[in-house]
Amino acid sequence: MAATRILVIEDDDAIRRGIADALKFEGYTALEADNGKDGLEMAIGADCDLILLDLVLPGRGGLDILEEVRTVRQTLPVIILTARGEENDRVRGLQLGADDYVVKPFSVKELLARIDAVLRRSPERPSDVTRIRFAGGTADLARREVRLDDGERHDLSEREVELLRYLARHAGRAISREEILSRVWRIDARGMRTRTIDMHVARLREKLQDNPSDPAIIRTVRGKGYMLSIGEQT
């Protein structure tokens, strides 16, 4: 399984680099941003599993970043980093949806413990979905195939497996094309116009026998993206 990716948005170079080094030592992948503008772009567009967010940043404040992140990725874990005198901002951050906070100065041991606790209870924490049961058949991601109840079988490409697994991990939530490009294709989707997501979804619907004119498995959410509606996954 790929290493958990943590985005550190902190303008103090010494603190940011110290956190990044500690994360890498523990086996995480650390992404870094030293200002609010870049931090917001990476929080929305980059492939990350948790954000460590300083509240006082140049360019864009941490609370503004948190508020925008929550409109795009409601379940992405965020731990805010605050100074001792920022109690009001800390409370505001929790009200906006932060998962936890750490008060500066903090120990590396405390920070890592908070990260582990938040990741363990986070709905965005990656899980291994190997089999998806849908009306009419089963998608076996380990075997990379769809088995229909009537005996028909269809092979799945590696990209189709990755896309189906990501949709299953977030079943019931509309996933934008930009998020899919970033989190599954792992490319920067900003300003990109492409039909590749729609083409892959169309092929998956065909293999799942999901009526393209009225899909019940991979639904199109107008103005948002795609959402997987399934009854069971393991």
Task: Tell me the per-residue pLDDT of 8-31, one tens digit each, with 9 for 90 and over.
Answer: 999 999 999 999 999 999 999 999
**Per-residue pLDDT tens digits for 49-85:** 899 999 999 999 999 999 988 877 777 899 999 887 7
Burial of 120 per CB tally in 10 Å (0-12, 13-18, 19+): exposed
Helix (H) or strand (E) holding 94: helix 87-95
In percent, the amount of the chain with pLDDT more than 70 equals 92
Q: Is 58 exposed, middle or buried (0-12, 13-18, 19+ CB in 10 A)?
A: exposed
Q: What is the pTM of this model?
A: 0.58
pLDDT of residue 185: 81
Residue for token pair 């498995």: 217
Reported as a pLDDT band with limits 50, 70 and 90, residue 178 is confident
Mean pLDDT of the chain: 87
Residue of 123, 120, 148, 145 whose CA lies nearest to 134: 148
Residue 55 CA: distances (Å) to CA of 140, 170, 180, 223: 44, 28, 28, 31
**Domains by residue range for the chain, with CATH:** 5-120 (3.40.50.2300), 131-233 (1.10.10.10)
